[in-house]
Structure 1
């Protein structure tokens, strides 16, 4: 990726000037812990069920010693080399870990030095050494030193996690919270962090895979702790407002934002072609459009022209009865994005948040959900995240049957999809799918910007097409008077589907629509459309301002009611590889004007879904209450009968 205008290039010679210091730190130093537990603390206290700490081993092959390592001594080279039992030779992966740690330390020192020059810390350090530091600036000096420590620690953790990310296996290691976070100055901070890393390796790294897992888990935990401290620490503007790029590693530091290697997900799912999705015309059409929209993302600008112009779908909900094609829709969309990304050489990441992510440990379910979100929104990849059966995964607030883990997931999804810190870059989209959307928390459901009704095959032609598709080729049954897949011609089918929403489908909404039209006539002005929206809100109080935003977003999507040409996906030079402004201009040329018909159709489409959910939800609640009353009556009869008996 090319360097963006707000980035500074961190020169290789600047990093190289700190390699000697980094080497000395991984070879050995003494550190007296202040916050973290000392070496005498039993390992079991930190992680139940893990073996005791590993001993140090001589780095000289054949030489056996029984030396004691003093408390506080940190020798990372020896510690890492001892992570595979008694093998006298260092493994290639151990060497990779040490190289990554040394380079991460050097990068962190180089950036902290750069920040110090911009923040004025460099001048104050020199004045302090000369004994000429004014007393009035001692508080500033102390605050800048603490900021320097936080910058050094964060960049060290960030670079370590980034450099080792491609060596991670499926093994996850829990290292717990990082304790020894010191803010005296950058070097003391590194001493504390490396001391704790040394102890975590001793506790958890029983082989090479767990060694990498331990170091990466420590780096992530360190970044999280430091970023939390940074929210209230002063003097960090010089770091937060700038970005540095390390060309050799394609590693970018952007304040307290984790960097991650742009790795694709290896998908093992069976992809479906669009013609294998029968029915579901609007859902299929919007999924196909969205797959191409994602490809317009500009990695240099870190923004998608569709998100800039309005009309990008960040979150959507697909609902329908079991067996209507939700999984097939996911397989189709993931397949299209994967194919486009392979062709363009873009990294693609797909992940599904499933019920496996609900954990009995307090806070762990929320952590799993946050990790899923962060994995997909990573601006260095094209991302597609799905949440299948969201009614089972995310709890409904106020529902006594929702577990603490389910409620944690609900809170994370709500904050991530439409929270104060949500940034829609246009590089990813999230799809929520459910057979029972009425069981999804109202506020979470309304965070789905688009609604895809997945109602499966509807017409006679749809049923003939799906039978033909699923029968395969191993038969001689004649087709008869039918043109296969003609009914699935997407443009024609979608136009008919949209036109069908000129009037509401749900009985409750149709009643509101007819009453408003009888009073004010055709809905052909903003004033009349607003009157209709208010009437819907009076009929259903859950129809709030967020619903209006979702409707207007859907209308903007309709203004982008075109598919990017297939040739642009097949030949990336025609569009995908062009600069941001050129791509934006090409899209603007294809944009269509918004019409009254579009607005009415989208109001009806969205409101229909809300009325459908509300009706089902109310009906389910009524049925449950009726069952409770019946059980109470039956219990009374039995109780009275047993008394008389």
Structure 2
């Protein structure tokens, strides 16, 4: 799941992922299916939405293809079922989604990936969110240098066409685009802090750390137990998701481009040779970190994410109420002054 405020590139990222996958599959002669969720999924007829959702989910059980199935604006079709005014069609879609992903008769060959992209992750159904194994925030420009670079990409095109046309001073201490670039793994992108940023998660970590060291297995068992007390929806599936995130972090590295250009180098080698080659790349990708350090970073990141999503809806309601009170106060003053 990729989430963030509007206008930060979520839809663009869908196209970029699909393009990269298609290129790799073409090089390796693997069939590829780009399978976005259609906008016309919700039906006004009873049972119609479930029928359309089954049709959309079934191709993802095909073991002969590599499949990328993005759901843009996921909150539209996977909204929290208990929220007021949610249509029967949305409930049907979610029911099918849950059964076909990790339900009793789900078939998962491991060759398909569903990507949820949303501006409002707190509006997604809790059971749907619990099935999300990888979560990342798509923030767009955030720092002074980010905004400098975004402007630079725009006005530099004018400057190339009309030299000296942009008659403005450049920053003295920053070289354009030096803070941007392609990352080789998630560790370079993610906040790798070992301390939580959310206050409630920070307090829980401090409480557990007072009894256990973070390199003890008991630390995490007690941490998860305390999280469940503070966030009742936190379950064994969340723990599984954390484990998947750690495994993904360990194996998240770019394969050599030459391996795709010449499949004989890696892809057409025997299993043991490929396994040994991947082990070497994985160890180099850890950049000196050991398992316990990576585990703590991923646990903290996931728990912060849980707290952020849980608190966002409440904060939005509080902000809306504060804004309404300010409007009423200003209106009262205007009315009294008018009299």
Q: TM-score by structure 2 length?
A: 0.82
- Cα 1:424/1:486, change in 2 over 3 Å: farther
C-alpha distance in 2, partners of 1:329/1:545? 30
1:440/1:425 Cα in 2 relative to 1: closer, same or farther (>3 Å)?
Answer: same
CA gap 1:492/1:505 in 2 versus in 1, 3 angstroms? farther
Distance 1:389 1:484, change over 3 A: same
Given the superposition, is the C-alpha separation of residues 580 and 416 from structure 1 closer, same or farther in structure 2, using an over 3 Å criterion?
farther
C-alpha separation between the residues in 2 aligned to 1:421 and 1:584? 31
Q: Is the 1:346–1:381 contact (alpha carbons within 8 Å) kept by the matching residues of 2? A: yes
d(CA) in 1 for partners of 2:144, 2:316: 31
Residue of structure 2 equivalent to 1:570: 261
Kindly state the Cα deviation for residue 465 of structure 1 after the two structures are TM-superposed: 2.5
SS, match of residue 68 in structure 2: strand
Write the mapping of 1:262-281 to structure 2, written as runs, cut at 5 A.
none
Residue 551 (structure 1) shift: 0.2
Tell me, yes or no, if the aligned pair for 2:186 and 2:249 is still in contact at 8 Å.
no
Q: Do the aligned residues in 2 keep the contact of 1:377 with 1:383 (CA within 8 Å)? A: no
Measured against aligned partners, the alpha-carbon deviations of 1:168-191 in whole angstroms (never above 9, x if no partner) come to xxxxxxxxxxxxxxxxxxxxxxxx
Measure how far apart 1:606 and its partner are. 1.1
In the alignment of these two chains, the number of paired residues is: 311
Asked if residue 402 in structure 1 is aligned to residue 98 in structure 2, the reply is no
Task: State which of 118, 123, 128 in structure 2 corresponds to 1:439.
Answer: 123
**Contact 2:195 2:300 (8 Å CA) reproduced:** yes
Counterpart residue number, 1:422: 106
> Cα gap change, 1:410/1:623 in structure 2, threshold over 3 Å: closer, same or farther?
farther
Match of 2:277 among 583, 586, 596: 586
From 531, 547, 550, give the equivalent of 2:222. 531
Q: CA deviation at 1:382?
A: 1.3
Aligned to 2:291: 595
> What is the aligned counterpart of 1:511 among 203, 221, 225?
203
Q: Which runs of 5+ in 1 are unaligned?
A: 1-316, 631-645
Query: Greater Rg, structure 1 or structure 2?
Result: 1
| Alpha carbons of structure 1 residues 614 and 459: separation in structure 2 relative to 1, 3 Å | same
Please report the RMSD computed on the Cα atoms of aligned residues, expressed in angstroms: 2.7
Give the drift of 1:430.
0.8
Inter-CA distance 585–379: structure 2 relative to 1 (3 Å threshold): farther
Write the distance in 1 (CA, Å) between the matches of 2:12 and 2:176. Answer: 19
Task: Name the residue aligned to 2:310.
Answer: 614
Higher relative contact order (CA 8 A, sep 6+): 2
- Quick one: distance in 1 between partners of 2:142 and 2:105? 41
1:474 aligned residue = 158
Q: Could you tell me how far apart the structure 2 residues matched to 1:470 and 1:345 are?
A: 38
TM-score by length of 1: 0.45
- Structure 1 counterpart SS, 2:40: helix
Q: Which residue of structure 2 aligns with residue 557 of structure 1?
A: 248
Q: Secondary structure at the match of 1:546?
A: helix
Alpha carbons 1:509, 1:608 under 8 Å: kept: yes
Once the two structures are TM-superposed, the CA of residue 499 in structure 1 deviates from its matched residue by 5.3
Q: Would the alpha carbon gap of residues 385 and 507 (structure 1) be closer, same or farther in structure 2, given more than 3 Å must change?
A: same
Q: Counterparts of 1:42-81 in structure 2 under 5 Å? A: none
Q: Is the 8 A contact 2:10 2:138 kept in 1?
A: yes
SS at match of 1:356: coil
Q: Distance in 2 between matches of 1:580 and 1:570?
A: 19
1:501 CA drift (Å): 3.0
**Residue 546 (structure 1) aligns with:** 237
Q: Give the 3 Å change call, closer, same or farther, for CA 351–318 of structure 1 in structure 2.
A: same
Cα distance change of structure 1 residues 494 and 347 upon mapping to structure 2, 3 Å threshold: closer
Distance 1:552 1:395 in 2: 26
Shift of 1:367: 2.0
Counterpart Cα distance in 2 of 1:474 and 1:621:
44
CA contact (8 A) 1:319 1:437 kept: yes
Q: Give the secondary structure class of the aligned counterpart of 1:604.
A: helix
Q: Deviations over 1:528-563 (max 9, x none)?
A: 122222121111111111100000111111221322
User: Structure 1 residues 342 and 472, CA, compared in 2 at 3 Å: closer, same or farther?
Assistant: farther
| CA–CA distance in structure 1, aligned partners of residues 31 and 184 of structure 2 | 34
Deviation at 1:354, TM superposition (A): 3.7
Query: Counterpart of 1:387 in 2: which secondary structure?
Result: strand
Alignment gaps of 5+ in structure 2: 326-339
- 1:353 equivalent in alignment to 2:49: no
